[in-house]
C-alpha cells in the first residue's frame, strides 16, 4: 500500500511515521502533487498556527490539490482544522472540505486543552471496534463546532467535533498516533478503508 504523509513544514510527522510502521506499513513524506495524487492513502498532519500553515500549503499549490483528492485522506489536528471552512486563528480561510468553522475556546477554560479526553457519539468505519468514551490525546486552542459531518464528539467547556467525515475525507482533532493502542487502532482502521 502506498501511504503518503503530506510534508508542508507544519507537521507532527515523526510520531505518525512510527505509528504507521508499528502497524506494519511504510509511509513516505512528500509535497509532490503527482506522488500525493497516486497514493492509496493520504495523511494530512498539522501542528502550529493556522494562517502560517495555510500559507505553506499555498506556496506549494497543495491548497488547490488536497480538496480534489479522491482516495481516503485523514487530516490530524491542525490538518483537520485547515480542511474546514475557516478558522478564527489568524482569520484563516480553510480548504472548505468540511462545512464547519473553527473557533477559539473561551477564556473561561485553560487553553490549550492539553491531555487526555474522551470521544463519544462515534459514527464511522474509522471507529470500527472502538468503544464509546475511549480516551484520546489532544492539544488545541481552537475547535470545530458540531455539524452534520461530526462523527465523534468531545466535551471541553462545550461539546465540539473531535472527528469529521465528508465522503473520502476524514479528520481527527485528537492525535491517533499519540493515543496509545486505541489511537493506533483508529489509524489502522483508516489504512483499511
pLDDT in tens, 41-67: 999 998 889 999 999 999 999 999 999
Alpha-carbon gap, residue 186 to 129, rounded angstroms: 9
Q: What is the pTM of this model?
A: 0.97
Q: Exactly one of 89, 140, 165, 175 is catalytic; name it.
A: 175
Residue range 33-38: average pLDDT? 97
Question: For the chain, what is the mean pLDDT?
Answer: 96
Q: What is the pLDDT of residues 124-151, one digit of tens each?
A: 999 999 999 999 999 999 999 999 999 9
pLDDT band with cut points at 50, 70 and 90 for residue 108:
very high
Q: Omega into 63 within 30° of 0, i.e. cis?
A: no
Verify whether residue 175 is a known catalytic residue. Answer: yes
DSSP β-bridge partners for residue 5: 29, 43
Q: Is 140 a catalytic residue?
A: no
pLDDT at 83 over 90: yes
Q: Residue 110 has what pLDDT?
A: 94
CATH number of 3-191: 3.40.50.880
DSSP 92-103: EE---SEEEEEE
Active-site annotation holder among 77, 84, 140, 165: 77
The pLDDT tens digits for 3-26 are: 999 998 877 688 999 999 999 999
Other Cβ atoms less than 10 A from the Cβ of 148: the count is: 9
List 89, 149, 165, 177, catalytic entry: 177
Residue the block writes with cell 480534489: 68
Is residue 177 among the annotated active site residues?
yes
pLDDT at 138: 97
Per-residue confidence (pLDDT) for residue 154, from 0 to 100 = 98
Domains of the chain by residue range: 3-191
State the residue for C-alpha cell 477564556. Answer: 107
Amino acid at each position: 500500500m502506498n501511504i503518503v504523509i503530506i510534508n508542508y513544514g507544519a507537521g507532527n510527522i515523526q510520531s505518525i511515521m512510527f505509528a504507521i510502521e508499528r502497524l506494519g506499513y511504510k509511509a513516505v513524506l512528500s509535497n509532490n502533487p503527482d506522488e500525493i495524487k497516486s497514493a492509496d492513502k493520504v495523511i494530512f498532519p498539522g501542528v502550529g498556527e493556522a494562517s502560517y500553515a495555510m500559507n505553506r500549503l499555498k506556496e506549494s499549490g497543495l491548497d488547490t490539490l488536497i480538496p480534489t483528492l479522491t482516495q481516503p485522506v485523514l487530516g490530524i489536528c491542525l490538518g483537520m482544522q485547515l480542511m474546514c471552512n475557516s478558522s478564527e486563528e489568524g482569520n484563516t480561510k480553510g480548504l472548505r472540505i468540511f462545512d464547519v468553522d473553527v473557533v477559539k475556546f473561551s477564556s473561561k477554560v485553560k487553553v490549550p486543552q492539553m491531555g487526555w479526553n474522551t470521544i463519544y457519539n462515534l459514527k464511522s468505519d474509522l471507529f470500527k471496534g472502538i468503544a464509546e468514551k475511549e480516551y484520546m490525546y489532544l492539544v488545541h486552542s481552537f475547535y470545530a463546532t458540531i455539524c452534520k459531518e461530526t462523527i465523534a464528539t468531545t466535551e471541553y467547556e462545550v461539546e465540539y467535533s473531535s472527528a469529521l467525515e465528508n465522503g473520502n475525507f476524514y479528520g481527527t482533532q485528537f492525535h491517533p498516533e499519540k493515543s496509545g493502542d486505541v489511537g493506533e487502532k483508529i489509524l489502522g482502521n483508516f489504512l483499511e478503508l
